[in-house]
Amino acid sequence: MKLITLPSEFQKALPILKKIKEAGYEAYFVGGSVRDVLLNRPIHDVDIATSSYPEETKAIFTRTVDLGIEHGTVLVLEGGSEYEITTFRTEDVYVDYRRPSQVSFVRSLEEDLKRRDFTVNALALDEDGVIIDKFSGLDDLKSRRLRAVGKAQDRFEEDALRIMRGFRFAATLDFTVEEKTLQAMAEQAHLLTKISVERIFIEFDKLLMSTHWRRGLELLVNAQAYQFLPDLAGQKNNLKKMMTDLQATFNFTESAQAWASLMISLDISNSKAFLKKWKTSNDFQKKVDHIVSLYRLRQKQELDKWSIYSYGKEIALLCEELRHARALEVDFSKIQALDEALAIHDKHEIVINGRYLMQELGIPAGPQLGKLLHQVEKAIVCGRLPNELPAIRKYIIEELRNE
């Protein structure tokens, strides 16, 4: 098969291929970008594979960065873009079901394509637009089917992350998984415990964020893979509930919302502890926790100025979208109106602060000071007190008198 016109991303990168060829080596576009062009999907990164060894690649270009040189990858900077150029390689010795313990550079494209995970990811494209398809990836692409390159069982045993990638690609590409491949994914799912949680998170997160996340999740549940993921063991029914809880066409706006939805469907009381096991950042944990907390609060009471102030408009909107997806009553304009009506959005906007109370009103540092400041903040936010010096002074003096 030959592409008549190369998409602009490839056109732009053609001089790179040509330079490598002029130096006497082979070079091809490989991996996800080739697959995505054939599927009419937007391309993100154009990866190049070459027969030149890293040092040889570096000698061809003036501006390069050693990106993952031990894995054969050199970053080339040309024409305002960056390209990852990776030497053809095999990954022969797997001892621990994850990353190869040794990569060997080879001069053959076919050897390189053989080590790739799925046939649709093992296509190469040359500078004339000719597709190199050693494993019937084009057939699979046409049938919208994910199939392991070679013997599925072995390939997942070599690197169990491929199992998660399988669920993820089924979801992002809206593909089915070929029977033997799926069977091997299920049989080898127990090896997921050997893979770093961070890498699994990335795949699971991409799955949840994809248009067809239900497909990916359903496959993951049916293959029993959840049993080997942090804090998901035994959660089959709740994971299935996540699919029925949300309206069929709903897609998540961002990761934190997706994981918050998972927390809600799984009825997790401590989201932070859950996400800590998934080794996510503190910021991410906090954001998910806020969405979940506001969601639960909103089940008990109406949104008011204080909740919008405390959680912020962004969290409130993400939360409201989840309610909408769950066919609960929503009021997006109320969030907007409450937010616009807030006298302050942050406590630093209050015209007094702790120092003022200590210096001007002689209140000593300590819990009383903190409590007073919090009262002032709440009174201002709720509209009971203007954010003005005389009014706040009067309010504090009265509060102190009442104590």
> Which of the choices Mg ion, ligand ATP, none does residue 57 contact, using the CB cut-off of 5 to 8 A by kind?
none
Q: Which part of the chain contacts ligand ATP (CB under 6 A), choosing from 157-165, 181-189, 221-229, 258-266?
A: 157-165
The verdict on whether residue 99 carries a ligand-binding annotation is no
The residues, ordered by sequence, that sit 6+ positions from 54 with a Cβ below 8 Å of its Cβ are: 66, 69, 72, 73, 74, 87, 105
Q: Does 271 bind ligand ATP (CB under 6 A)?
A: no
**Dihedral of alpha carbons 255, 259, 262, 264, sign:** negative
Q: Does 86 bind ligand ATP (CB under 6 A)?
A: no
Among 116, 145, 147, 215, binds ligand ATP (CB under 6 A): 116
The residues, ordered by sequence, that sit 6+ positions from 393 with a Cβ below 8 Å of its Cβ are: 352, 360, 361
**Helix, strand, or coil here: 67?**
strand
Please give the residue whose beta carbon sits closest to ligand ATP in the complex: 32
The verdict on whether residue 159 carries a ligand-binding annotation is yes
The verdict on whether residue 393 carries a ligand-binding annotation is no
Nearest to 174 by CA among 132, 128, 215, 142: 215
**213, 207 in Cβ contact below 8 A?**
yes
- How is residue 14 written in tokens? 């053609």
Q: Does 162 bind ligand ATP (CB under 6 A)?
A: yes
**146, 179 in Cβ contact below 8 A?**
no
The distance of closest approach from Cβ of residue 210 to ligand ATP in the complex, given in angstroms and rounded to an integer, is: 10
**332, 376 in Cβ contact below 8 A?**
no
Distance CA 394, CA 376 (A): 11
Size of the residue set binding ligand ATP (CB under 6 A): 10
> Which of the choices ligand ATP, Mg ion, none does residue 121 contact, using the CB cut-off of 5 to 8 A by kind?
ligand ATP
Q: Does 137 bind ligand ATP (CB under 6 A)?
A: no
Residue 368 C-alpha from the chain's centroid: 43
Q: Which residues bind Mg ion (CB under 5 A)?
A: 32
Of 114 and 286, nearer to ligand ATP (C-beta) is: 114
The verdict on whether residue 331 carries a ligand-binding annotation is no
Of 117 and 127, nearer to ligand ATP (C-beta) is: 117
Residues in the chain: 403
Distance CA 156, CA 98 (A): 9
> Which of the choices ligand ATP, Mg ion, none does residue 287 contact, using the CB cut-off of 5 to 8 A by kind?
none
Q: Does 32 bind ligand ATP (CB under 6 A)?
A: yes
DSSP-assigned beta bridge partners for residue 86? 49, 73
The verdict on whether residue 145 carries a ligand-binding annotation is no
Q: Which part of the chain contacts ligand ATP (CB under 6 A), choosing from 116-124, 239-247, 310-318, 339-347?
A: 116-124
Cα distances from 58 to residues 67, 71, 108, 126, 146, in angstroms, run: 11, 14, 19, 21, 35
Residue 80 phi/psi, 5° resolution?
Answer: 80, 5
The distance of closest approach from Cβ of residue 9 to ligand ATP in the complex, given in angstroms and rounded to an integer, is: 13
> Which of the choices Mg ion, ligand ATP, none does residue 181 contact, using the CB cut-off of 5 to 8 A by kind?
none
- How is residue 153 written in tokens? 């069982």
The distance of closest approach from Cβ of residue 84 to Mg ion in the complex, given in angstroms and rounded to an integer, is: 9
Of 169 and 309, nearer to ligand ATP (C-beta) is: 169
Q: Does 121 bind ligand ATP (CB under 6 A)?
A: yes
- How is residue 208 written in tokens? 């949840």
Of 220 and 260, nearer to ligand ATP (C-beta) is: 220
The verdict on whether residue 144 carries a ligand-binding annotation is no
Residue type, 28: Y
List residues binding ligand ATP (CB under 6 A): 31-32, 47, 116-117, 121-122, 159, 161-162
